Amino acid sequence: MPHRLVIILGPTAVGKTDYSVRKALEYGSPVISCDSRQIFKEMTIGTAVPDKEQLERVKHYFIQSIPVTQAYTAGDYERDALALIEELFEEGHDTLVMTGGSMFYINAVCEGLDDLPDGDPELRKTLWERVDSEGLESLVEELEEKDPLTYSRIDSKNSQRVVRALEVCLVSGRPLSSFKSGGKKRDFEIEKIGLSRPREELYSRIDKRVLGMIRDGLEDEVRSLLPYRDLQALQTVGYKEMFDFIDGKIPLEEAIRLIQRNTRHYAKKQMTWWRRDDSIKWIDLQ
């Protein structure tokens, strides 16, 4: 029987964790997390890591495993996840369960990534300083000039993606779009299961999750991360808005509204991305 990797994907708050735990118990597999934020040790509430009961029922990998101060890319995840997958198959597992909502991480495991140039911490710091002093639009305009193809595809409001794309251009002297991805063959079968819910139901779950994060102490978690606020890991929904609240730029009610809105936007983007993949078997959890 060929080895098989079952990837459970879907938008944020759709119910991937519960579903993946059930599947892992069914297959006798651990859960391999494929989430680019739950991997950081200090980010718990704002990333909705699995709760204590879920972690006790099934062993999880790549949950809060590296410090927030460590730069970690999709390429790093490809390397580490494939090594773990090989090790687990050698231990006797026939089927492994992976779950997450990070599109680039999932693509890295399924199709592979070209070796992008190593990042330049000083250059990245300079680019982030430019975001603060000049505004993101200035970097977007430079990206349009240096890499029109990536500019046409990228979310121009996602500062993290814009900074990384421009960093690659400046470090390598080549546009990011010239680095091809995909096409690598894996020596195991890959099955993708996509979870979905009606939009109104999903959005309601997102709104309730955000309120739950506030009750669980998101503000205290974000305050503990203030010394690291400029790190790439913290340029993400939930943390950015709370930093603005802590800075006195917006009231708490507005921060909550923006987290809910921006999380809904992200969920929509996730679904748009995956709807183009004909290999995904979709399951409606309504």
More confident residue, 82 or 178: 82
Closest CA to 257 of 244, 270, 268: 244
CATH architecture, range 1-106+189-286: 3-Layer(aba) Sandwich (3.40)
Higher pLDDT among residues 25 and 175, named by residue: 25
Range with top average pLDDT, 66-80, 87-101, 145-159, 227-241: 87-101
pLDDT mean over 2-18 = 97
How does pLDDT run across 19-36, given as a tens digit for each residue? 999 999 999 999 999 999
Give yes or no for residue 251 having a pLDDT over 90.
yes
Taking residues 198-212, report their average pLDDT: 98
Burial class (CB in 10 A: 0-12, 13-18, 19+), 33: buried
pLDDT given at position 235: 86
pLDDT band per the 50, 70, 90 thresholds, residue 75: confident
Residue 31 · residue 84 · CB < 8 Å: no
pLDDT of residue 72: 87
Per-domain boundaries in the chain = 1-106+189-286, 121-178
The CATH number of the domain covering residues in 121-178: 1.10.20.140
pLDDT tens digits, 263-277: 999 999 899 989 989
Rounded distance between C-alpha atoms, residue 110 and residue 48, angstroms: 24
